[in-house]
Amino acid sequence: MTAPPGTLVLCPEFAFLLHATRWPHDAKAIETIRHAAAAIRDPARLIALARRHHVTGLVARAVGHCEGLADTPLRRELRQDALDLAEEQFRQLLQTRQTVAALRAHDVPVAVLKGAPAALTIYGEVGVRTSIDIDLLIARKDLERAHEVLSQVGYERSEPPCDATARQLGAVSRYGKDWAYDHEHSDTGIELHWRLFQNPRLLGHVGVGDAVDAVVSPGITLPVLPRDLGTLYLTAHGAEHAWSRLKWLADLAAVLRQEPGAADRLVTDAAANGIEHMTMAALLLCHELYAAPLPEKDCTALAQEWRTRKLLDIARASLIGEQDGTELEDRAMATTRKNLGHYLFSSDPRYWWRELTYDLFHDAGADHSRSLAGRVIKRIVNVMRLPSARAAS
């Protein structure tokens, strides 16, 4: 299938960011990167954008291809960021292996989501993909035992806090998807998932039992989701965040270019799980920004369906924004648009119901003065403010 040309207006720094994050950096890509580098006018904006989108490793690699940027403050700052990233990813990889080994030693089946294994699988090396924490998937019945294991190896639960009440723990268990942990000797925390997403109707059938052992680096084997299932999760994860970071879209684009037929398999798998609109929007955005392959089969009707187009509009606005490095949460009504977009992911009323109950009750265990009626009114007001916020943005 073909897609209509995009009409995006990008500043030179954001345009360079797109070329820098298109993997691999082959001879043709390097030539394009060098041409785009000549247009850079605001190095500080480029650094802010690279950090905002968690792609400093890829951007540093791209800047390294540009002789005109040699020995500039831009190159030196990004190079240091990339060195720090590579060092951190080595630590994360070892930390992941040690944690998985500890859980398995106590008969807790576990799978690793995204993180260092994804970086090595997609890019083939460390130092190019940023990972903030380690995401692990376990069965809900193993949560308490896994908590004990993590506590024994130096982790402390940060969310919900250690002194959380039974009511707070119950709310997180019912409406949430993970517990978060910090380590006393590491900047990398762990998110311990018992499901992939807050909404159990979104890939809720995927569990730790789907994991397969994969060699992610010489001598290091970790349990991960199978490739196609991992790509579907990567797509749903990016869509849930309205593709607000370029890192996630660059990952998907790289996978689509590496694997013949990946786009067709992805849209087929998505349709089987009732999330074809969010997936088609992601494929269109990947094609628009990275020229990533679209499905060979005819998906024209799906691409033109109003839900797909609306999700694509939300993703464009969330990803590109003001092109100044401002976080999504700091832009007027941006998170409200993102969250309302979740209701377009599926046509299943059971999915909508779970989304609604999460929006209304996920903070039910917290101590706050606003009643349920107050929370409902607040969300209605946010929806009513959307048109004015869109006009201002």
pLDDT at 369 over 50: no
Query: pLDDT tens digits for 193-218?
Result: 999 999 999 999 999 999 999 999 88
**Helices 43-52 and 73-105 sit at what angle, rounded to 10 degrees?**
10
Share of residues in the chain with pLDDT > 90 (%): 71
Position 164 pLDDT exceeds 80 = yes
Quick one: pLDDT at residue 197?
96
pLDDT value for 333? 77
Per-residue pLDDT reduced to its tens digit, 271-330: 999 999 999 999 999 999 999 999 999 999 999 999 999 999 999 999 998 888 888 888
368 band by pLDDT with thresholds 50, 70 and 90: very low
What's the pLDDT at 159? 92
Q: Residue 391: pLDDT above 70?
A: no
pLDDT tens digits for range 13-24: 999 999 999 999
Q: Using the predicted structure, report yes or no on whether residue 332 has a pLDDT greater than 80.
A: no
Could you report the per-residue pLDDT of 94-141, keeping only the tens digit for each?
A: 999 999 999 999 999 999 999 889 999 999 887 888 888 999 999 999
Q: Please tell me the least confidently modeled range out of 64-78, 135-149, 270-284, 362-376.
A: 362-376
pTM of the model: 0.91
